[in-house]
Structure 1
Amino acid sequence: MTMIMAHRGARNLWAENSLTGFRNVLALDVEGVEFDLHLTNSGQILIIHDASLDRTTTASGHVRDLDDAGRRAVRLKDEQGTVTEDHIPTFEEVLDVLAARPDLKLYVELKSGPDGKPYEDLVEKTVEIIRARNIGERVVLHSFDRSVVEHCAEVAPEIDRLMSLNTEWVERNGGLENFFRSVEPLVRYVGVHHQLFEAEFDRITALFPKDRLGVWTLNDRALIDRWMTRGVANITSDSPDLVVASRLALTEKAI
């Protein structure tokens, strides 16, 4: 069965990476939720996609410069730009919410700072929290940056890993064949952007098992319906309700 991942806490339904979104995802018939980690100068791990506050919050500047009082005061904006009551959550706050669904896989993306470089100690701090809560079997650590994924393997070899892939990162890694050959022993999963996957489906599935490949980010029902029949490991969507409806329709059709 193709699993469904709620991207950034289902950001087309609720404010991106918000506690409101994560609470509501609990009620959806999905198998996983994806969210993004940044590290502040004070050592807090915050759940937000961009290294900048400008796009998704009422503040501006760099995420890393926020102290705890500042991140509590900042409010998140939804996709329409409407200000919500949600603050920027910490990793611990999100895990507290998601503890209510121990069956839910947690796809944890380790982001880079505003300089494009990985945060020093983010991997170690993330793994420390995961181990303290004994949830390693639920977690998949992932990044576009190979050095980050390699560091995850060194620090926490017991936790599953994923690398994300799009056209830009194919070129950075010397082509599809070189990429998949080099990451096969490093990761359990590879998440491929849907346009690249569509264009290179036969090559990609010849290079890597379909049950270890995911596709992102699908938000169009026609596209979702097509991918639901292709046997990939998971579909990541900002609108997981559409993917749930697609899977239900396919199941009912088969009866």
Structure 2
Amino acid sequence: MNQTKIFAHRGFSSNYPENTMVAFQAAEQSQADGIEFDVQLSLDDVPVVIHDATLDRTTNGTGFVQSYPVHKIKKLDAGSWFHEKFEGESVPTLEEVLVWAKGNQLILNIELKGQLSDRDKAITVIYPMIKEHDLEDRVILSSFDHTVVAQCEQFAPMLETAVIVLSALYQPESYLRTVQTLGYHFYYPTLLDKEVESLIKKGIRLRPYTVNDEKQIKRFIELGCDGIITDDPQKAVALRNQL
């Protein structure tokens, strides 16, 4: 059985401002196997790393991310909201993350966000960047928008993909086949142990999120999930090592 991989959710987001380079660097130092982070397009179609559709929660800016060109987004403070010691942390571009990732072995789980109008544009902008940095074998593209996942499969079938769900899918194996993906990222309370075990036997790559409780971390490692997505990779790595 393959060892369960630990993915740092938006980086080491329990201790650092989410989706910033300092959070990603801390995740690497925690010996996580990968990082999960969110990407959407700026006004000038540059992929930037930020979760919300708006700037308000995690920066000192206001308004929609897609209302601003990248040079204005880069000037914002994306660290002070978490703690004053992180003042000056900026919103990374995807390019910055990919360049940094060339120096390590982390798996990059890129969650695609943005407006529905960007569906056709997102993969055509993002894939060439992944290819340019020769990171195709270290990227997972995931989304709550399963149409986007299907488009990724059609446009770049060499990349691994995954659907993200908040509630359990009905007949998930059949549904995933229609999307042409094996990746199933689910909210951790929504599947029973027997359902997890059955799907793993069928080759589905299960990665529950956001698993922060020690008991639940152990549960999914012992069940043999492909990975878990957690805010505290240091804790998860330590528990995996104990097991």
Identity %: 27
Map 1:45-84; keep pairs closer than 5 Å: 45-77=47-79, 80=82, 82=84, 84=87
Distance in 1, Cα, partners of 2:23 & 2:41: 21
Deviation string 1:30-65 (CA, Å, 9 cap, x unpaired) is 211111101012111100011111111111100111
Out of 3-12 and 210-219, give the one that drifted further.
Answer: 210-219
Distance 1:201 1:222, change over 3 A: closer
Distance in 1, Cα, partners of 2:182 & 2:204: 10
Distance in 1, Cα, partners of 2:164 & 2:8: 16
Distance in 1, Cα, partners of 2:185 & 2:80: 25
Distance in 2, Cα, partners of 1:2 & 1:125: 31
Asked if 1:129 corresponds to 2:132, the answer is no
Which letter maps to 2:137? Answer: E
Which letter maps to 1:65? Answer: S
What number of residue pairs does the alignment pair up? Answer: 238
Distance 1:155 1:44, change over 3 A: same
Distance 1:69 1:112, change over 3 A: closer
C-alpha displacement of 1:84: 2.4
Which residue pairs with 1:187 in the alignment?
Answer: 181
Map 1:212-227; keep pairs closer than 5 Å: 212-227=205-220
Distance 1:189 1:120, change over 3 A: closer
Which letter maps to 2:194? Answer: D
Map 1:166-181; keep pairs closer than 5 Å: 166-167=166-167, 170=168, 175-177=169-171, 179-181=172-174
Asked if 1:201 corresponds to 2:204, the answer is no
C-alpha displacement of 1:86: 0.6
Equivalent position SS for 1:147: helix
C-alpha displacement of 1:8: 0.5
> 2, 5, 17: which is aligned to 2:4?
2
Which residue pairs with 1:93 in the alignment?
Answer: 96
Q: Is the 8 A contact 2:16 2:82 kept in 1?
A: no
Q: Is the 8 A contact 1:23 1:97 kept in 2?
A: no
Distance in 1, Cα, partners of 2:43 & 2:184: 31
Asked if 1:234 corresponds to 2:227, the answer is yes
Distance 1:88 1:119, change over 3 A: farther
**TM-score normalised per structure 1:** 0.86
Which residue pairs with 2:158 in the alignment?
Answer: 158
Which residue pairs with 2:143 in the alignment?
Answer: 143
* Structure 1 gap segments, 5+ residues each: 251-255
Deviation string 1:167-223 (CA, Å, 9 cap, x unpaired) is 1xx4xxxx521x4302136113111111102xx332354345366111111112222
Distance 1:117 1:10, change over 3 A: farther
> 22, 33, 45: which is aligned to 1:31?
33
C-alpha displacement of 1:226: 2.4
Equivalent position SS for 1:112: coil
Which letter maps to 2:87? Answer: T
User: Cα RMSD (Å) of the superposition?
Assistant: 2.0
**TM-score normalised per structure 2:** 0.90
